[in-house]
Every structure is written in structure tokens, then in C-alpha cells.
Structure 1
Amino acid sequence: MKADEWKSWVLVYSPVLLKDVLAKDRFKNWINFVDACHLLIKPMITFDEVNTAHQFLQTFCTRCDELYNAKILTCNMHLHLHLRDTIRDFGPVYSYWLFGFEQFNGLLKNLKTNRKIGFEETFMKKFIEDIHKDDLVNSFLQSTRQTSAFPLLTKLTSSFTPTTIPSIHQCTFHIQSFVEASEDPNVLVKGNEPLPPSAFPLSLKSATTMSDIHYVHLLQYYKVAYNNEQLVHFQQASESPYFVDNTITLLKYINILGQIYKGKGESGSCGSLVQAKFIGSTGEHIIAYMGQIQYIFTHSFTPPPISSSLTPLLCTHRCPTQLLHNSQHTFAFIKWYTPKNDKLQEYEHIETCFPTFSPDDFQCVLPVHIIMLEVATAEHTTRRKVKKMLVIPLPKKQYI
């Protein structure tokens, strides 16, 4: 198997398939290795997480020495205990992973040559040309905001990712903010935060009107997100200037930091199965919910002006958000599966829910910024003929 297939085996399949194959003590020890891998493959990892992963690996190796014959233990198990120091020196594993040379093989194979001069000279000429084109594009981005030149810039260099933010420093800030918002449920996300450069260009369809049933949930979402009950239905627009339009623009898909999310296709194809985290009603517990994306859309909305008495307080804590405010919101309309509080399989990285959807409400309108990742699911019928859905979070495929 290839490295990516080994990763799928360890993280997705093995917690399910090995449960009835290995003895209980051996299976529990294997989960130590799975726990470590879940932390080590993250696109961003903290020092505390590195230490936790090291403890899992240390427990795994120690228990293997007790459970198995010494003859079958390999040198790789010794190298597990050096990963902590390696990550501290060089960063997350995907920044220097062992199979990086395979990527360069593909780059070299795709380079066109005329077979008349040395390969090295052709490669360097192409490399220098690309560098100068990148410099030209970056300088252009810092001097203009006109989007009419984006198609030309895309042809000049493959590394160009259109964004309305010209500053490279600001661009990095937005990516970091996006990641923090998507990983931390305590960050208040409204949906109008800048998208990461990977999302552009947006694959937009023609504008359309939202269904009356779903529109009610969108209106309620804005009332809750902006804490403003004065917002009115678009049919009451003549009565108040603070109304929510029902015109939306659908997206075929959206690229969030390298992961592609899709809605249900017109041909009947299923939408992406995703996971997001919410803060519980008591504010103490963070709960993960699984759902299916029905469609992805953008919607323009500008909230009513803030009272002048509140402006100083808001500026103290949220100046960056206020300065970078954007009227365009990007949402996914998601049907959530009915949750089931079943902790029997928690240590195996398997969550459970019912294979039926919960009733729709305003929480079905989810900012794409807080979609965490895709999930794999499988239906399971218990001995008592109760149908459940097994849910396994899938590791992110690409990274910043």
C-alpha cells in the first residue's frame, strides 16, 4: 500500500476491523498508536499535542515489548520515540515527510524539453521564468484591487490565487484567522469573514431565490448571529430598511484549505458528509455534529449600523473584524443527523448517530468557516434491530 492508504488503514479502518480480531489488551494498545497518529498528522500541532503523542507512542512501544515476542519488533518502533524531537526541530511532519521526493519526480517528469540541450539548463530557465512571473503577480496585487486582470494573472502563474486583499501579510493573517475560527468553537463566526486564498476563484452559478422554507431559517440565523430582532422578512421590506434579501448565489463546490466540499448534485449525487462543533446549551461542553451538505451559497447582507454608545467597546476588542467587514456571507445549508449519546466506542475514534435527519432550523445555515472536516459513515444494525450510523472523522488531505 502507498503511504496515504496506510494512513487510511490506521486512522479509519483499523479501529473498526481489528476490534474482533485482536485480543482486548492488544487492541487497546493498538489504539495508543492510532491516538498518536491522529495528533501527528494534523496540519498544525501544539507542543502539548506533541508531548501527548509521544506519551501514546511510548505506551505503545512499552506494551508491545510486553505483549509480543522481541523477534518481531522492528527498528521503526525505536524511531517512534524520536519523533518528538524531530517535530520540535523541523515542525509538523508534512513539512519534511519522507515521501517528498515522489512529488519532485512528478514535477521533473512533466517538464517539457526539446532534447537538444542539457536537462539542468532547461529546468533552471523554467524555474527562473516562474520566479519572475510570481514576483510580477505579487507586485501587481499590492498595487491594485481590480479583479478584471485575474484571468490573465492565472495564465501567467499557477501559484496565483485571486483574493481581494492585496497585502501578503494581510493574506497570511486571514488564513490564520480562518483556521482559528474553524478549529475553535468559541470564536464567533458570522460567515462574512474573508475566505482563504484556496477558495478562489469561487465556482459560482447564476443567482437564484432561496426556497421560502429555507429562507425562514436564514432570517433567523441573521437575527441570532447579529443579535438583532429588528430584522424583517423580505416581504416586509417596505416597512423596514432592515430586511434580509432572499436572493442567493449557489456554488458548485468550495475549496477550504485544500479540502473540496460539495452540495447535492442535480443528478442525485450525495453532498459532502461533514463534521462541525458547537458549544452546548450550558456553555461548558463542545459537541461534534455530523451532517450532509445540501448546497453551498453566498448571500449579501449588511447589518444595521451599530449604536454609537457601543462603538468604543467594539473597537477595543474587534477592530480587525470591523475593518475587514464584508457584506458577502458564504454558507452551507446542512441537514444534521440525529445525535445519539453513545460513548461505548469513544476510545476507538468512532462516534454514533441515528441515520435520520433532525428537523431543520436556523443552525442548518452554517458558515463554511467552521466546517471542520469530512467524515466516513456506515450504517450498522444492532442485535436489537436498532439502526445506527457509525461516523469516523477523516484526516484532512492538504495543508497550508
Structure 2
Amino acid sequence: MDSGESTAVVVVGAGPAGLVLGNLLLAAGVECVVVERRSRAHVEQRARAGFLAAHTVRVLTRHGLADGLAADGQQHHTCSFRTAAGAFDLDYAALGRGEVHTVYPQQHLVRDLVATFLARGGDLRFDTAAESITGLDTDRPTVTVRTPGGGSTRLHGRFVAGCDGRHGTARAAVPAGAVRRYRRDHGVSWLALLAEAPQSMAAVAYAVHEDGFAGHMARTPDVTRYYLQCPRGDDPQAWPDDRVWAELHHRMRADRHGPLRQGPIVERRVVDMGSDVLDPIRYGPLFLVGDAASLISPSAAKGANLAVMEAEILAAGLVAGLRGDTGPLDRYSADCLPRIWRAQEFSHWMIGLLHGPAGDGDEAVFLRALQQARLESLRTSRRHQDHFAENYVGI
């Protein structure tokens, strides 16, 4: 192994968090290296979230990173709830702060961020896995990486930004007991589906059904994201296309509201609903961003939006810290965690709204009645609707 290279900031992970952070550092004249264990093709094709909150769009626009979403993103301002009692729409652009979502698939955003970073002369290394992060009790931490050819090298920096997810090397580098970990298993699993089919309705649709939740989320004119609640441990391959579409039609009550526009299911995976927050989201010169800092269930589409928010805050802190002002870095956790917890609270509330417990026991029957009461309040109460809209679009 060679003696390594030196830079100001080593960014581990080239998802939205790492790429936004890298672009902001580069624009501020801060030298950085971004390493990503996957190939460029993989990260630019990996389908994930697609709902960008108003604040996220403002951040990307402010820093010259929004050309793609400005050209091809679609604004969405309505969501629909389908229940046994009927359906109702909420035009959240007319509620709360009057904000909307911009639908722009995450892989397209990643593609844009990669292109901008490289066009600005950034050092971005794909197929380069971070194997360990050491020296976190010094002012010169080291990231040891496996290079594409199979060798190893060391990257030394003043700071390290861990943007490599919940199971990444950055989080694993934090010593046990150095942070407090909050976690919750919500006991709910979704079959996440990507269909090569146009959207079947203008709105995002949440179907609350006694047989389990179903969801419809537009992505592009030709691709739609669907979700189906499924038993924990289900094999995605046990859900062939015919079974998927039959269950989607059933739970979304297509006989009442109109048929779904079908097409091949090109992706299917099971997602277990879980939440996880570290406090603080820093250990010495290592700062955690995105899913490395906090995992949030996809029930309210907050993950990528939190990552962009945290990346902007950290970028400003790193720029200041490298110029001798460590105050913003010292406040990084305190600035981010209240927003993380607010997003967690709303996501938790959405899980309860969309998923009623199964069974005929007293508790299950009682909780399903409460669920219906919450839906009725959301349908009829303007104050409830304003609160929903503010949190649904906000961070």
C-alpha cells in the first residue's frame, strides 16, 4: 500500500448527499475527493426516490444544480386518499405554506450532479470502496480505499464526510458508545415496484385497505412507482406481474375509481419500514450525512430531501472550518437534528395513517377505528389539512 494522498475533505459515497456536498465544496474552492464503491453506471441508473421538496429545489437552484429538474421535473400539488368510505383529494399547494413537490427521479438528479461535478474539475472515483476510516482522534483522519485494480491507497483529509448510508463504512467507524442511537422497527413491509407504465392518475394516491396499503407515485411519463404492503420476509419473486396488478387493482379499488394503466414490472424489492437516528451525527472530524446520519421510512418521501438539507449545512460549516471558524461545524448536529426529528415524526404519523393493524382482537379493531377517524379529520378539517401540507412538503 502506498503512503497515500492528501486533500481537504474526503467524501465517502456518491449519492445525493455526497454529490451535493462535493459540488458545494468545489464551488467554494475547497479541495475534495469523492469515492464511491459502485460504478458510475450503477449510481446513475439506480431508481430511488423522486419527490423533491420545495426547500430541496431552492437549495439546488441556489447553487446552480437545478438545470435538469428545471427542464424535466414535474410539479405535483395534489395527493389522493382512497378508503372504504370513498376517496378525497388534497390540493396541498392551496394549503399550509402553499408549496409543491417537484417529481424528478433520483437517478436523473444523480446523473446531473455527477456531470456538474466532473465538468467543474472534481475528483470523483467510482468502483472505489472505502474499507476503513481511522485517525478520528487526530486532525488528519485517513480513509483507506480499495482501488478499481484491486489495490489499496490512503486518502488523508482534514475532514471526512460519511455519505455512504446506514450500513456504510462511515457509520461503522464511529466507536460504540460514542453516539446515542434511536431506532424503531415499524413492523410494516412494502413491496416496492417500478412499472413501465404511464401514471394512472394525476395525483399521488394512497389506498387504505383492510388487506393492506397500496400506493401510486408518478416518476416519468412512461414509468410509475407502486407500493404494496406485504408480509415481512416475503420473496419479491413470489409476486409475478399478474399477481401484482390484480392486487393493485383490488386495493386501489379500481372497480370504483377506474382501471390502472398496466405495463411490465421492471423492479421489485421488499422494504422493511424502519427508522434510525444517531445523536450526534458527528464524531471528531467525521460528519455523517443522509442515511448515514438517519434512516427514515419512505412513507413521506423525506430521505433524499434530508440529505440535501444536511449537505448544504455541512458544506457551509466545512468551508468556515477550513478558514479557521469552527463554530458552524460545532453546531452541525444541533442545526440538523431538530429537522431530522420533525421529519421522523411526520413519517411515523404517516405510517399510522396508512397502515391499520390486522386481526380481530380488541386492540386491532380499536386502532383501525382511530385510523378512520384520522382520515376523516384530514378530509374535513382545514387546520388538519394545513398541518399536513406544511409537513408533507416541508423539511
| The structure with more strand, counted as a fraction of residues | 2
| The structure with more helix, counted as a fraction of residues | 1
TM-score (norm 2): 0.21
Choose 1 or 2 for highest CA Rg. Answer: 1
TM-score (norm 1): 0.21
* Greater RCO (Cα-Cα under 8 Å, separation 6 or more): 2
